[in-house]
Amino acid sequence: MKMIKNTLFSQTPIEVGQGSTKDNYIMAIESSCDETACAIVKNGREVIANIVASQIKTHEKFGGVIPEIAAREHLDSINVVIDEAFSQAKEIANIEPKDITAFAGTVGPGLVGCLLVGLNAAKTLALVYDKPFIGVNHLNAHLCANYLDTDLKPPFMALLVSGGHTQIIDVKSYSEQTIIGETIDDAVGEAYDKVARLIGLPYPGGPKLDKMAQEGNPKAYLLPKAKVNEFDFSFSGLKTAVLRLIKQLKADNNTENLSEDIIKDVCASFQECVSSTLVKKVKKALEQSGYNQVVIAGGVAANSEIRKKMFALQDEGYKVFAPPMKYCTDNAAMVASCAYFNTNTFDDINVEVFSRVK
Ligand code: KG4
Ligand code: ZN
């Protein structure tokens, strides 16, 4: 538990986090990329409201997220998701704005124009209701998605796989974490999106590639595994290998339009290469740590094969946690949980947004 001062007015410290003598209701806002989200979470684990406005329809037209357009869309949606979260909390738990313990917002990493919208909304709410403000790191929030609706407690090993990051993290306690390995080039989600584009799948490519892969033969093509340090990753060579494979297949079949069956096999082979590399390294890290718990987090934690291989670790006696799909992709419930568990947070209303991890 921490005593955090309110923002500007009464300056009376308020108890926030584990060990508080009163139940905590944290309202959080997330707007780092293309989801505008607001949630209210009780004591870091119990989701009272979880509202997400996705911009997928807008960005589909452009084949990717255009930062300026995304920021404008956050402006259009932000008040809607906040109102919706408040009315859901009233209906479900009879919680009113005055009952909120603290307001949290994502500070970074993310798109600066997008982050500014959500962060300023969260700070404004803290000022208006005279409650503490807590800034949250988006990556830590993804990890904390595993605390929602579970009884997971550190220590555990974590695989964080998102559009921008691929890391193996040793979570020693709620607040103490060490990155023990990461990608030296592309993130897994980035590799999925780039390969999906090569194959001609529309945005967002990752989930579509996953779907195709489930219908293909994972042993159809042998793709190279990068040689890097024990717990690090590299996916840019794999992407080039897929590009070469597609060119070769087009030449062999004497066509510019590969059959759907061939594409499905390429997807499955790519997915096999990525998922086996990830899980092999996580397993090694687990063995080295002596922990018996492991979690996955981040948007790519929604991937069917990565989940399957991670859950197979249960057969070896490990406890495996993976957030349900709605908490894998960007949401604000994970941000609220992160604020409650005080995981690398910034308890300062003057905190500024940042685009990359410093
Ligand atoms: O965590 P996230 O929402 O964004 C960041 O914070 O970076 O993750 C988005 C990424 C995208 O690259 C998307 O293609 C990928 O997650 N993704 C998937 C799947 N679902 C989402 N990649 C592979 N398989 C999926 N099922
Ligand atoms: Zn994310």
Q: Model confidence over 324-346: pLDDT tens digits?
A: 999 999 999 999 999 999 999 99
Q: What is the mean pLDDT of the chain?
A: 93
pLDDT class for 159, splitting at 50, 70, 90?
A: very high
**For a pLDDT cut of 90, what percent of the chain falls above it?**
83
**pLDDT computed for residue 8 by the predictor:** 63
Among residues 206, 197, 210, 212, which one has the least CA distance to residue 242? Answer: 197
Residue closest to 38 by CA, chosen among 100, 113, 128: 100
> Nearest residue CA, atom 2 of ligand 1?
299
Amino acid 93: pLDDT? 96
- Measured in Å, residue 183 CA sits from the centre of ligand 2 at 16
Q: Mean pLDDT across the stretch 52-59? A: 84
Tell me the three-class secondary structure of the chain, residue by residue: CEEECCCCCCCCCEEECCCCCCCCEEEEEECCCCEEEEEEEECCCEEEEEEEEECHHHHHCCCCCCHHHHHHHHHHHHHHHHHHHHHHHHHHHCCCHHHCCEEEEEEECCCHHHHHHHHHHHHHHHHHHCCCEEEEEHHHHHHHHHHCCCCCCCCEEEEEECCCCEEEEEECCCCCEEEEEEECCCCHHHHHHHHHHHHCCCCCHHHHHHHHHCCCCCCCCCCCCCCCCCCCECCHHHHHHHHHHHHHHHHHHCCCCCCHHHHHHHHHHHHHHHHHHHHHHHHHHHHHHCCCEEEEECHHHHCHHHHHHHHHHHHHCCEEECCCHHHHCCCCHHHHHHHHCCCCCECCCCCCCCCCCC
Q: Is a pLDDT exceeding 90 seen at residue 61?
A: no
Ligand 1: centre distance to CA 222 (Å): 24
Quickly state the pLDDT bin for 157 (edges 50, 70, 90): very high
For residue 329, give the ligand 1 atom closest to its CA: 3
Give the pLDDT confidence score for residue 7 in this predicted structure. Answer: 59
Average pLDDT score over residue span 241-262: 95
Model confidence band, residue 358 (pLDDT cutoffs 50, 70, 90): low
Predicted confidence (pLDDT) per residue in 88-142, tens digit: 999 999 999 999 999 999 999 999 999 999 999 999 999 999 999 999 999 999 9
pLDDT at 52: 96
Rounded CA-CA distance 22/46 in Å is: 15
Task: Look at residue 341 in the predicted model and tell me its pLDDT.
Answer: 96
Q: Of 87, 38, 77, 39, which is closest to residue 56 (Cα–Cα)? A: 77
pLDDT at residue 146 in the model: 98
pLDDT at 297: 96
**Which residues have C-beta atoms less than 6 Å from ligand 1?**
33, 162-164, 189, 192-193, 204-207, 210, 298-300, 302-303, 329-330
The answer on pLDDT for 198 being more than 80 is yes
- Tell whether the model's pLDDT for residue 287 goes beyond 70: yes
Which band of pLDDT confidence, cut at 50, 70 and 90, is reported for residue 204? confident
In this predicted structure, the answer to whether residue 215 has a pLDDT above a threshold of 70 is yes
What is the arithmetic mean of pLDDT over 244-265? 95
The residue-averaged pLDDT of 27-43 equals: 96
Query: Could you tell me which residues come within 8 angstroms of residue 122 by beta carbon, excluding any fewer than 6 positions away?
Result: 27, 28, 29, 103, 104, 105, 133
* pLDDT 10s digits, 288-312: 999 999 999 999 999 999 999 999 9
- Ion ligand 2 neighbours (CB, 5 A) are 162, 330
Q: Is the pLDDT of residue 182 over 70?
A: yes
Residue from 353, 333, 358, 306 nearest 35 by CA: 333
**Atom number, ligand 1, closest to the C-alpha of residue 306:** 24
Q: Which residue has the higher pLDDT, 128 or 10?
A: 128
**Radius of gyration for the alpha carbons in the chain, expressed in angstroms and rounded:** 21
